[in-house]
């Protein structure tokens, strides 16, 4: 059967590979900005669905369904983002006689509401952060804050990815924060409702991967640590968490399964929790899709979650039981974004002129770009995910350090320097993480520290500059064929390194 991937970038490439390994045909969709991107070239068929803006292409449900009909696809996998957690789209797919690869529409609808999901957790005895129902206006928010106690977190009911969230520490901040959270909720999720939660100071963000089938089986695959976030957006994940011992892992897993079972869950999903400094945990939300960070779970537990999602959608029972789920080693993931750390993480669109990926044991790169790729400004800026596995956390981080020295992207700015810098931060090395740590580190990190982490790129620029200098002086150099060329190349490389170190080329 042909499966249409209603997405782009690295997740589309990932899912196309899963389709092919299972013997299914694949169909890519693309906008005008993506017509020669890797996911388009990797698929068996590709269908244009509109111009660059997401609302006119990847978010156009009619265009996606028409692409499925035109290509003869029998199923649709939404990946993450775009239409992945849209219950209306899931219903439209099923109404069109196609297989929806994901949780049932009614489950997406139930758990897509953060307040309804909190009520499900409450009903099965899973602790939730003290909070309110949806608030009518700023006056209602003020009353809720007085009952809960400052500081609070205002959250859009349909929110996710850090959108529609505002910390409020005093009553004077509340009115503007409420307006902003409501406005973002309406803009990003077509739902302006906002609710309030007690702000848990310096918590860890841990999440449990679940997988269920239509035959009543539900299993979990341990936890992922997702505490390194910039403005509520995850940038680095690892599995397992250094803060979770086997007993706590069992409790978290049981809580995740209880919530999923109460909602009638099947397919892949993630139950998210806040973990307090004393080991207490609180239900946060359920993501009814495959997460960006799913690869760290895959490499630690030896499973292919993308393939299991597809097999479940076609009616297969899960091929494993909870007793079969055994972790091995430690994995970390760096999200490589087209953002400039030296300019406040501003978007960095453009053409990738050079791309060199790391290789070696325990190194996995899920990428949606190649040399020559245009990185447009229209979509999420994630380019790739660098996933590293090691026998334990220290060895995984040592392998990550080496991989980061080998990873080269030029033509645009990326977040690679951020991860090079993080590896030398004592709190990071010790695993002493919390959701505000990265923002704190960036607030106190001097620009020079980030500039130093960009050195590998600076060296390449210096090499090019030295090569130009060598070419300009070519008339003064002997021309003895390959021998001279090899020697000259060696000389300008050495000169480039001297320039990169601030020294004059000899």
Tell me which fold the domain 2-101 belongs to: Rossmann fold (3.40.50)
402 or 278: which leads in pLDDT: 402
In degrees rounded to 5, what are phi and psi of residue 217?
-85, 140
Which stretch of 6-10, 286-290, 329-333, 462-466 has the lowest confidence by average pLDDT? Answer: 462-466
Q: What 3-state DSSP class applies to 155?
A: strand
422-453 pLDDT, tens digit each: 999 999 999 999 999 999 998 887 666 777 77
- pLDDT attached to residue 448: 65
For residue 294, is it left (φ>0), alpha (ψ between -120 and 50) or beta? alpha
Helix axes 138-148, 174-189, angle to 10 degrees: 110
Q: What 3-state DSSP class applies to 428?
A: helix
Contact indicator for 192, 179 with CB cutoff of 8 Å:
no
Q: How far is CA 104 from CA 267, 305, 306, in A?
A: 8, 17, 17
Which residues of the chain form CATH 3.30.1490.20?
A: 130-198
Contact indicator for 83, 67 with CB cutoff of 8 Å:
no
Burial call 266-294: b when 16+ CB within 10 Å, e when fewer: bbbbbbbbbbbeeeebbbbbbbbbbbbbb
Region 181-200 average pLDDT: 89
Using 50, 70 and 90 to split pLDDT, how confident is the model at 119? very high
Using 50, 70 and 90 to split pLDDT, how confident is the model at 464? low
Q: What 3-state DSSP class applies to 340?
A: strand
Which residues of the chain form CATH 3.30.470.20?
A: 201-328, 330-450
pLDDT of 278 > 50? The answer is yes
41-91 pLDDT, tens digit each: 999 999 999 999 999 999 999 999 999 999 999 999 999 999 999 999 999
- pLDDT attached to residue 398: 98
Q: What is the DSSP string of 432-457?
A: ---TTHHHHHHHHS-HHHHHHHTHHH
253-267 pLDDT, tens digit each: 999 999 999 999 999
pLDDT of 294 > 70? The answer is yes
- pLDDT attached to residue 460: 54
Using 50, 70 and 90 to split pLDDT, how confident is the model at 506? very low
Q: How far is CA 354 from CA 34, 175, 424, 457, 501, in A?
A: 19, 47, 27, 11, 22
Task: Give the angle subtended at the CA of 175 by the CAs of 197 and 110, to the nearest 5°.
Answer: 40
Contact indicator for 79, 7 with CB cutoff of 8 Å:
yes
Given 230, 289, 311, 420, the catalytic residue: 289
pLDDT of 485 > 50? The answer is no
pLDDT of 126 > 50? The answer is yes
Q: What is the DSSP string of 35-94?
A: TTSHHHHHSSEEEEEESSSGGGTTT-HHHHHHHHHHHT--EEE--SSTTTT-HHHHHHHH
Q: What predicted TM-score, i.e. pTM, was given to this entire model?
A: 0.84
CA–CA gap between residue 72 and residue 3 (Å, rounded) = 9
Which residues of the chain form CATH 3.40.50.20?
A: 2-101
Burial call 390-413: b when 16+ CB within 10 Å, e when fewer: beebeebbebbeebbeebbbbbbb
Using 50, 70 and 90 to split pLDDT, how confident is the model at 472? low
| 205: β partners | 274
Q: Where is 490: in which H helix or E strand?
A: helix 481-500
CA–CA gap between residue 267 and residue 503 (Å, rounded) = 58
Residue 493 catalytic?
no
CA–CA gap between residue 506 and residue 493 (Å, rounded) = 11
pLDDT of 478 > 50? The answer is no
129-143 pLDDT, tens digit each: 888 989 999 999 999
pLDDT of 476 > 70? The answer is no
Contact indicator for 240, 225 with CB cutoff of 8 Å:
yes
CATH superfamily of 330-450: ATP-grasp fold, B domain (3.30.470.20)
| 365: β partners | 386
Contact indicator for 382, 227 with CB cutoff of 8 Å:
no
- pLDDT attached to residue 115: 86
CA–CA gap between residue 86 and residue 81 (Å, rounded) = 9
pLDDT of 251 > 70? The answer is yes
Contact indicator for 7, 82 with CB cutoff of 8 Å:
yes
Count of alpha carbons within 13 Å of 20, Cβ hemisphere only?
A: 13
CA–CA gap between residue 200 and residue 499 (Å, rounded) = 49
Tell me which fold the domain 201-328 belongs to: D-amino Acid Aminotransferase; Chain A, domain 1 (3.30.470)
Tell me which fold the domain 130-198 belongs to: Dna Ligase; domain 1 (3.30.1490)
136-170 pLDDT, tens digit each: 999 999 999 999 999 999 999 877 667 889 999 99
Percent of the chain with pLDDT over 90: 79
pLDDT of 480 > 50? The answer is no
CA–CA gap between residue 183 and residue 396 (Å, rounded) = 41
318-374 pLDDT, tens digit each: 999 999 999 999 999 999 999 999 898 999 999 999 999 999 999 999 999 999 999
H-helix segments, 263-359: 294-301, 305-313
What is the number of residues in the chain?
506
Q: How far is CA 275 from CA 130, 132, 246, 296, 505, in A?
A: 14, 20, 15, 20, 54
pLDDT of 188 > 70? The answer is yes
Mean predicted lDDT score pLDDT of the chain: 90
Contact indicator for 317, 217 with CB cutoff of 8 Å:
yes
Q: What is the DSSP string of 202-243?
A: S-EEEEEEEEE-TTS-EEEEEEEEEEEEETTEEEEEEES-TT
- pLDDT attached to residue 454: 73
């Amino acid at each position: 059967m042909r499966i249409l991937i209603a997405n782009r970038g690295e997740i589309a490439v990932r899912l196309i590979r899963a389709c092919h390994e299972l013997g299914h045909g694949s169909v890519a969709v693309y906008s005008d900005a993506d017509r020669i991107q890797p996911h388009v070239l990797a698929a068996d068929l590709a269908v244009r669905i509109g111009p660059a803006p997401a609302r006119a292409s990847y978010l156009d449900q009619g265009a996606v369904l028409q692409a499925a009909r035109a290509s003869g696809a029998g199923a649709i996998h939404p990946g993450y983002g775009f239409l992945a957690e849209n219950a209306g789209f899931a219903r439209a797919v099923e109404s069109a006689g196609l297989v929806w690869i994901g949780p049932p529409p009614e489950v997406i609808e139930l758990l897509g509401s953060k307040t309804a999901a909190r009520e499900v957790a409450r009903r099965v005895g899973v602790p939730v952060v003290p909070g309110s129902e949806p608030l009518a206006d700023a006056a209602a928010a003020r009353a809720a804050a007085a009952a809960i106690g400052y500081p609070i977190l205002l959250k859009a009911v349909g929110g996710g990815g850090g959108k529609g969230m505002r910390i409020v520490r005093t009553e004077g901040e509340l009115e503007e924060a409420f307006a902003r959270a409501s406005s973002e909720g309406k803009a990003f999720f077509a739902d302006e409702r906002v609710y309030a939660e007690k702000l848990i100071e310096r918590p860890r963000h841990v999440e449990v991967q679940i997988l269920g089938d239509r035959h009543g089986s539900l299993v979990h695959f341990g936890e992922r640590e997702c505490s390194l976030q910039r403005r509520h957006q995850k940038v680095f994940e690892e599995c397992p968490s250094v803060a979770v011992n086997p007993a706590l892992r069992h409790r978290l897993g049981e809580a995740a399964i209880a919530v999923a079972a109460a909602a009638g869950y099947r397919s892949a999903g993630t139950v998210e929790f806040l973990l307090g400094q004393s080991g207490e945990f609180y239900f946060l939300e359920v993501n009814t899709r495959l997460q960006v960070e799913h690869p760290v779970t895959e490499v630690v537990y030896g499973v292919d979650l993308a393939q299991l999602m597809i097999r479940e959608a076609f009616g297969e029972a899960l091929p494993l039981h909870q007793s079969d789920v055994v972790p091995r080693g430690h994995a970390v993931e760096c999200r490589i974004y087209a953002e400039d750390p030296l300019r406040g993480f501003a978007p960095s669109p453009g053409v990738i002129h050079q791309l060199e990926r790391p290789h070696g044991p325990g190194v996995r790169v899920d990428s949606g770009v190649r040399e020559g790729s245009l990185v447009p400004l229209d979509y999420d800026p994630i380019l790739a995910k660098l996933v590293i596995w090691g026998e334990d956390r220290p060895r995984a981080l040592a392998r990550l350090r080496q991989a980061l020295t080998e990873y080269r992207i030029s033509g645009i700015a990326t977040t690679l320097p951020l991860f090079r810098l993080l590896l030398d931060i004592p709190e990071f090395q010790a695993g002493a993480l919390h959701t505000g740590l990265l923002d704190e580190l960036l607030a106190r990190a001097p620009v020079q520290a980030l500039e130093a982490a960009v050195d590998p790129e600076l060296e390449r620029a210096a090499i090019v500059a030295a090569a130009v200098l060598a070419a300009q002086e070519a008339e003064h150099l002997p021309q003895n064929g390959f021998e001279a060329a090899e020697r000259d190349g060696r000389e300008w490389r050495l000169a480039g390194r001297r320039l990169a170190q601030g020294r004059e080329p000899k």
